Copies of this chain bind each other. A is one copy, B any other.
Amino acid sequence: MKVSRRAVLTGATAVAGVLASDTEGAAATTAAAVKPRRIATEEAWSFPEHLDELARIGQALWSNLDAENINLEGSASSNRIVRGLLDVERRLAEMDRLGVDMQVLGLTSPGVQMFRPALAVSMAARANDRLAAIVAAHPRRFAGLATFAPQDPRAAVREMESAIKTLRLNGFILNSHTGGEYLDQEKFWPILEAANELGAPIYLHPRCPSDGLSAPFGDRRIQSAIWGFAVETGTHAMRLIVSGVFDRFPRLQFVLGHMGENLPYHLWRSDHWFERRRDAYPSKRKPSEVMRSNFMITNSGVEHAPALRYAIDVLGHDRVMWAIDYPYEEMPPAVRFLDSLGLSEVERHAFLHGNAERTFALRGD
Contacts and interface: CB of A to CB of B under 8 A. Distances in A.
Contact of A306 (B217, B301, B304, B314): B314
A293 interface: no
Interface in A235-269: 235-236, 238-239, 242-243, 258-259, 262, 264-269
A180 B216 CA distance: 8
A52 B101 CA distance: 64
Interface of A is mostly: helix
A263 to B, nearest CB: 9
B273 A266 contact: no
Interface in A202-240: 209-217, 220-222, 224-227, 230-231, 234-236, 238-239
Most buried by B among A267, A269, A314: A269
Contact of A212 (B215, B243, B266, B274): B215
Given A212-B214, A216-B213, A216-B236, A270 B221 contact: no
A183 to B, nearest CB: 11
Interface in A281-337: 281, 287, 301-304, 306-307, 309-310, 313-314
Contacts of A182: 216
Contacts of A216: 177, 182, 210, 212-213, 235-236, 239
A240 B309 CA distance: 29
Work out how many copies of this chain go into the complex. Answer: 2
B227 A270 contact: yes
A116 interface: no
Given A227-B235, A230-B266, A262-B262, 16 more contacts: A210-B216, A212-B215, A213-B214, A213-B215, A216-B235, A220-B239, A220-B242, A221-B280, A225-B273, A226-B242, A226-B274, A226-B287, A258-B269, A264-B265, A272-B301, A307-B310
28 contacts: A77-B276, A177-B216, A184-B220, A209-B213, A210-B216, A213-B216, A221-B242, A221-B280, A222-B235, A222-B238, A222-B239, A226-B273, A226-B274, A227-B235, A230-B269, A259-B265, A259-B269, A262-B262, A262-B265, A264-B265, A265-B265, A265-B307, A268-B302, A268-B303, A268-B304, A269-B302, A306-B310, A306-B313
